[in-house]
């Protein structure tokens, strides 16, 4: 009513200015206009009440419960799209008719919902692994708040945020969410928490260790992710399979990390769950090393017996449990340090395509995919532990510039020995180390330890160098270094392309003493992430492998 009166008065004042008089007809018109406007306002108010009290509509998004995420206008919450469906299984393993509709979504890589970004966190191109443009990561403040920790960031418009769960009312039927939906809802919160830490988070308190410094791509995001893993991450180990091929592995060889991880996970009480419905991932506990030892006939070049064992095992768990067929293996992982690990995964197409493959041989030219696969270190534990291997003198007590000793395995080492064996006193390069010299003492008295790939890209020399305080020099193509989703390898190692081996001494001599000391000191900090402990300790190699698997699991959304 009052709005109608104010509008009429403005019109009257306008007429008065134009004619300097107000006629009686204007007064009558004003009364009629007021009545009409009163009727219109009443109708508007009634319509507003009906609209306010009427039934509400809810999003059809699968994320219908409260996720605790910020609004889409500020957070850049991403949409989720289907990963391309598999063309169907081969080898006869069970899929229960779900080949046509994969039960998982892959977080779209061009948005920041994905937590393992191939742009920032990995180098999976065919360029040298530690090339500056592909590995170096600026601190968050230099990137103006843009998250650079294993995330994809989209400059485009954000997609709608998941809607909160409807509150049960007389007009709303209460929905009961499955265990899987509740599990996935928890992961949505974790993604938001990590994203917030990557962009704006402050340093977290931790009584044992707080990640900080340039060895990490984003220390705050890593710390938040690690703490969330400790609180929530659950792994189910399939109980099927018998010794020695399953639930077992080597612990005193070049492939010792395979057995060490299997053993520690088997007896773990923090991350392992006995309830498969509570698990985020499912472990296929076969040892490729032991399959080769006990199943493969030496020099036969026939790997079909290994294939039958692996395919039969997946058949068994797919037939007995719903989890493999539900996700086509996307929430399952295998682990192998053997050279044949990648090939073993090809026996089952969905394992190679969808599953998380934790491999020492992280070779992108042979199908290693850093978005879903995990690179972990090859550690040669001759005695089963690291006693006597860890530690070394300071930079001033290392008179040797560079050291290498090893056989002519693969295409890279012959090039190295051809250019540098017995050519320069500063470059101690051996094919066979003299018996008068100690391999580990040579490492401890050298500034740089050369780590060329052999037949496979991984080398135990990388961790041996880190243990001894020697700066590792990675000479390899197509290699994704361990934990490179978290660690900035350029800050504590040197990468040299294979085609620059002739320039090796000049490259190392061009590094100033001050920069060398920085590299060595940062290596001391990074060392804790490569140490083998029994029982495992926080942030050690066992937990770092689990953390890498945890990150890959965050990149997929499994649904019933």
31-67 pLDDT, tens digit per residue, is 444 444 455 445 555 444 434 334 333 232 332 222 2
Q: What is the pTM of this model?
A: 0.74
Domain residue spans of the chain: 2-46, 234-382+536-558, 395-530
The pLDDT, as a whole number, for residue 172 is 60
Phi-psi region of 154 (alpha: psi -120 to 50; beta: other; left: phi over 0): beta
Whole-angstrom CA distances from 371 to 113, 124, 255, 345, 540 are 13, 9, 24, 16, 22
Phi and psi torsions of 428, nearest 5°: -85, 90
3-state helix/strand/coil string of 147-197: CCCCCCCCCCCCCCCCCCCCCCECCECCCCCCHHHHHHHHHHHHHHHHHHH
pLDDT exceeds 70 at position 287: yes
Which pLDDT tens digit goes with each residue over 435-463? 999 999 999 999 999 999 999 999 999 99
Element (H, E) at 15: helix 2-19
pLDDT at 528 over 90: yes
DSSP lists the bridge partners of residue 405 as 430
Whether pLDDT at 403 is above 60: yes
Closest C-alpha to 486, from 549, 418, 407, 444? 549
182 pLDDT above the threshold of 60: yes
Q: What is the pLDDT of residue 203?
A: 86
Mean pLDDT of all residues in 65-88 = 31
In a 3-state reduction of DSSP, which class is residue 341? Answer: helix
- The pLDDT score that the predictor gives to residue 37 is 46
The rounded mean pLDDT for the chain is: 78
pLDDT of residue 107: 61
Listed ranges 107-116, 126-135, 148-157, 463-472; the one with the highest mean pLDDT: 463-472
The pLDDT value given to residue 67: 27
360 vs 345, 368, 543, CA distance in Å?
13, 10, 16
Task: Give the separation between CA 227 and CA 233, rounded to whole angstroms.
Answer: 10
Q: How far is 393 from 407, CA to CA, in rounded Å? A: 27
Q: Which residue matches tokens 């509509």?
A: 57
As a dihedral over the C-alpha atoms of residue 322, residue 281, residue 360, residue 191, rounded to 10 degrees, the angle is 140
Predicted confidence band of residue 173 (pLDDT cuts 50, 70, 90) = confident
Q: What is the mean pLDDT of residues 360-387?
A: 93
CATH number (1.10.357.10, 3.40.50.2000, 3.30.310.50, 1.10.150.530) of 395-530 reads 3.40.50.2000
Q: pLDDT at position 167, please?
A: 52
Give 95-124 as a DSSP string: -TT-TTS-SEEEEPTTSTT-SS-TTTT---
The mean pLDDT of 546-550, rounded to a whole number, is 98
The stretch 271-277 carries a mean pLDDT of 98
> 262: pLDDT confidence band, cut at 50, 70 and 90?
very high
Backbone angles phi, psi at 514, to 5 degrees: -65, -45
**Range 304-309 average pLDDT:** 97
């Amino acid at each position: 009513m009052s709005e109608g009166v104010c509008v009429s008065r403005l019109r009257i004042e306008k007429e008065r200015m134009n004619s300097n008089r107000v006629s009686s007809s204007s007064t009558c018109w004003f009364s009629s206009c007021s009545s009409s406007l009163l009727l219109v306002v009443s109708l508007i108010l009634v319509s507003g009440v009906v609209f306010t009290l009427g039934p509400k509509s809810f999003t059809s998004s699968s994320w219908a419960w409260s996720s605790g995420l910020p609004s889409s206008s500020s957070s850049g919450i991403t949409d989720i799209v289907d990963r391309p469906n598999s063309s169907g299984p081969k080898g006869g393993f069970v899929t229960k008719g779900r080949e046509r509709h994969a039960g998982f979504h892959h977080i779209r890589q061009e948005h920041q919902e994905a937590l393992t970004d191939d742009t920032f966190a990995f180098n999976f191109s065919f360029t040298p692994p530690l090339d500056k443009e592909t590995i170096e990561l600026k601190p968050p403040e230099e990137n103006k708040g843009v998250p650079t920790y294993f995330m994809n960031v989209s400059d485009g418009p954000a997609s709608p945020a998941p809607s909160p769960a409807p509150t049960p009312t007389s007009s709303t039927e209460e929905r009961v969410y499955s265990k899987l939906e509740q599990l996935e809802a928890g992961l949505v919160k974790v993604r938001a928490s990590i994203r917030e830490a990557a962009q704006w988070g402050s340093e977290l308190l931790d009584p044992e260790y707080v990640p900080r410094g340039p060895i990490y791509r984003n220390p705050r995001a890593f710390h938040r992710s690690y703490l969330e893993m400790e609180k929530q991450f659950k792994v189910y180990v399939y109980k099927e399979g018998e010794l020695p091929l399953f639930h077992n592995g080597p612990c005193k060889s070049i492939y010792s990390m395979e057995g060490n991880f299997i053993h520690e996970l088997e007896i773990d009480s923090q991350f392992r769950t006995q309830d498969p419905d509570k698990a985020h991932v499912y472990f296929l506990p076969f040892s490729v090393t032991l399959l080769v030892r006990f199943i493969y006939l030496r020099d036969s070049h026939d790997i079909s017996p290994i294939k039958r064992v692996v395919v039969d095992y997946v058949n068994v768990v797919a037939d007995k449990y719903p989890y493999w067929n539900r996700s086509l293996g996307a929430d399952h992982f295998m682990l192998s340090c053997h050279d044949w690990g990648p090939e073993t995964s090809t026996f089952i197409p969905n394992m190679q395509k969808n599953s998380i493959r934790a491999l020492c041989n992280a070779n992108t030219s042979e199908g290693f995919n850093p978005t879903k696969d995990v690179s972990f270190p090859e550690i040669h534990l001759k005695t089963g532990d690291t006693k006597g291997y860890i530690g070394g003198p300071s930079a001033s007590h290392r008179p040797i510039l560079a050291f290498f000793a090893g056989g002519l395995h693969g295409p890279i080492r012959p090039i190295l020995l051809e250019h540098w064996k017995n050519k320069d006193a500063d470059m101690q390069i051996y094919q066979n180390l003299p018996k008068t010299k100690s391999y580990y003492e040579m490492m401890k008295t050298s500034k740089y330890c050369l780590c060329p790939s052999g037949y496979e890209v991984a080398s135990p020399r990388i961790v041996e160098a880190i243990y001894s305080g020697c700066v590792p020099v990675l000479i390899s193509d197509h290699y994704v270094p361990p934990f490179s989703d978290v660690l900035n390898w350029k800050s504590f190692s040197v990468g040299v392309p294979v085609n620059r081996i002739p320039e090796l001494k000049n490259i190392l001599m061009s590094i100033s003493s001050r920069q060398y000391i920085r590299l060595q000191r940062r290596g001391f900090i990074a060392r804790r992430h490569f140490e083998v402990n029994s029982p495992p300790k926080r942030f050690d190699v066992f937990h770092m492998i689990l953390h890498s698997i945890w990150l890959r699991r965050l990149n997929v959304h499994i649904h019933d």
